[in-house]
Amino acid sequence: MGTNNRGTLIIVESPAKARTIEKYLGAGFAVEASMGHLVDLPKSRLAIDVDNGFQPEYITIRGKAKVLKGLQKAAGKSKEVLLASDNDREGEAISYHLMNAIRSKQPDVPVKRIIFNEITPQVIRDAVSQPRGIDEAKVEAQKARRILDRLVGYHLSPILWKKVKNGLSAGRVQSVALRLICEREQEIESFVPEEYWSLEVELRKGKGVFLAALHEYRGEKIDLKTQSDCLNIVSELHGQEFLVSEVKETQKTLRPRPPYTTSKLQQEAANRFGFTSRKTMQIAQQLYEGIDIGSGRVGLITYMRTDSTRISPVALKEVREFLAKNYPDELPDSANHYTSSARAQDAHEAIRPTYVANTPADIKTSLYADQFKLYSLIWERFVSSQMKPGRSSTTTVEVRAAEALFRASSTSIVEQGYQKVLRVLAPKNAKKALPRLEAGDILEAVRFHPEQHFTSGPARYTDATIIKILEEKGIGRPSTYAPIISVLLDRYYVVRKNRQLAATQLGRIINKLLTEHFSELVNENFTAKMEKRLDEIEGGNGSWVNLVEDFYRDFKPQVDHVMETLESIKGVLDEPTDLLCEKCGRPMVKKLGRYGFFIACTGFPECRNTKPVPLAECPRPGCDGKIVARRGQKGRGREFFGCTNYPNCDFVTYDRPTGSTCPHCGQFLVAKEDKQRGAYKACINPDCDYLHTHESEDKSA
């Protein structure tokens, strides 16, 4: 911690941000980092006086005392202190607690607050020249949120410990997200795929060949259930004349999309690059806090936690000047403006580049690959949002043969408009162009293409889709989407499967208990109302004490009732096995642990012998081993299923055994899923073509 010699001390949250800002301000300023919160509720007790207005008991976080003392000492050597934590509820609370801590030791040193939306020289200098006081309403909204979460966690967790399993916990907002994920899992499991067929015909005019899909038959929309339905139509159409009955062209205006909000950026990065929400926010934080691009260290994007599409007049002027120079034909007469969501707090601008002149191509060598990807998204989306619309043309051709109507279409871009600037966000190639056709043309039917399909069930949530649904329902805020997902994963209530979020057995048990006994708490509408009331407090239109009182009045009696009346299910999930512990000879049982089911000795804690749960018999001839779940790379790699007789038997599959055996060959069935069939079961035996769908399972039961 350096000396300041009566200059100005600025306190930010992270060292990276401190380094960037210090270079902008030069002599007379020292910039230090608080490393996030320094003061919070203690972990070891409730620390909320529920009998005295729910007053919280704040302490210095364990391990942070040295940092806080250093900041207090540095403040004593300064003529003033400017608190520059993030401009949101958490940041305001950090500044509030720092102000109190500094004033308690250095009462004569002025302490003020500064805020900014981007880390660029002019914006930082402007912020320093316009300090203000702490926003008490924001602090109260954060206090209410923190107290609510503490009350929920510290009252529900003991129920879970006593009734389910030691070490479990539940959160206020995360439990709602868990409910959504569990409900989706139930929908997937109950879904029964249905077979249907499509029919296309390959048509030729001269050298031009294209495919047309059957759209109507005998004046009705097609509904082909079986292969024979298709083949009956094919047989009727053989030898028939295929006549172009109509060719029509339609134009469509392609409007640019608004610059990113937090949720939309997380969704785009997940869909485009497979980034988790946590990874997206980590990279965005790096771009915001500052990157050395050769000419110096600069914050490349504005603040990345926002629900607004608003753009500042200065940024609009800059981007319009950039477009006038580089894309003059695509510059609209006036700036494009976008409407934010009705729930948006609009505290910050949309996410945009701080300097539009820093094109992705110009600074690519200064960025890591993932930083470049995310910056490209943000830059392209912002610049394109201020360009003219594009225009597409779609040609649709209808072809009649006997009582069948076939249809084909092709789309092309007539005017690129805003798409001229897109690289990473460039749309996928349009369909292959149709040959020149006119009404009355007779075409040659080359061949028919009947194809089998299966209806698809609902897909599991991904980071992108769960964030989308949380935003739509008003659950959480831009700063909480990534932490909600992370907490569920860390608690092993949810796992990732091929980038999808699937509820574990443990997650389902917790969700069942919460939905049955605390239905209001995990109700999405109730949670959204709580978020709205927190927003009202932040806007100075509500009391944090009233909010907490209203919640606790109904919550505490329900907690007491459940604790008293709910039967414990501890050990209920334990299943006896016919295995004996090879270390002590006592029986072994199947138990549910933090990471799923496992086999454990009943002699615990004297004997701590455990082993994986056998999922199936090894299918290798002559092998008496069991198939168990394993992970490579010291437990951190992809899950696979292998034989317990390894290395003598090297059988491995990445498909999870289902616990069922094939009625054709006797080997075990594995769970599979694809776009055609949805979820289904198939035999592990490569020489057996048995597919075990929901329908056939019912018939064989």
The set of catalytic residues is 303
Largest CA distance in the chain: 98
Determine which helix (DSSP H) or strand (DSSP E) holds 137, and give its type and residue range: helix 136-163
> What are the CB-based long-range contacts (under 8 Å, 24+) for 327-335?
327/387, 327/420, 327/421, 329/388, 330/387, 330/388, 330/416, 330/417, 330/418, 330/420, 330/421, 331/387, 331/388, 332/386, 332/387, 332/388, 335/311, 335/386
Burial 662-697 (b: 16+ CB within 10 A, else e): beeeebbbbebbeeebbbbbbbbbeeeeeebbbeeb
CB distance 571 to 589 below 8 Å = no
Structure tokens at 105: 């030791």
3-state secondary structure 572-598: CCCEEEEEECCCCCCEEEEEEECCEEE
Backbone angles phi, psi at 121, to 5 degrees: -50, -50
Structure tokens at 490: 């860390």
DSSP letters spanning 377-412: HHHHHHHHHTS--EEEEEEEEEEEETTEEEEEEEEE
Helices (H), 386-491: 463-473, 481-490
CA–CA gap between residue 443 and residue 215 (Å, rounded): 17
CB distance 287 to 375 below 8 Å = yes
Determine which helix (DSSP H) or strand (DSSP E) holds 208, and give its type and residue range: strand 208-217
Work out whether the CA dihedral 440, 441, 442, 444 comes out positive or negative.
Answer: negative
CA–CA gap between residue 300 and residue 3 (Å, rounded): 29
Instruction: Provide the CB-side half-sphere exposure for 518 (13 A, CA).
Output: 32
Q: CA angle, 422 as apex, 419 and 423 as ends, to 5°?
A: 140
* Close Cβ partners of 678 (under 8 Å, ≥ 6 residues apart): 191, 193, 454, 455, 456, 457
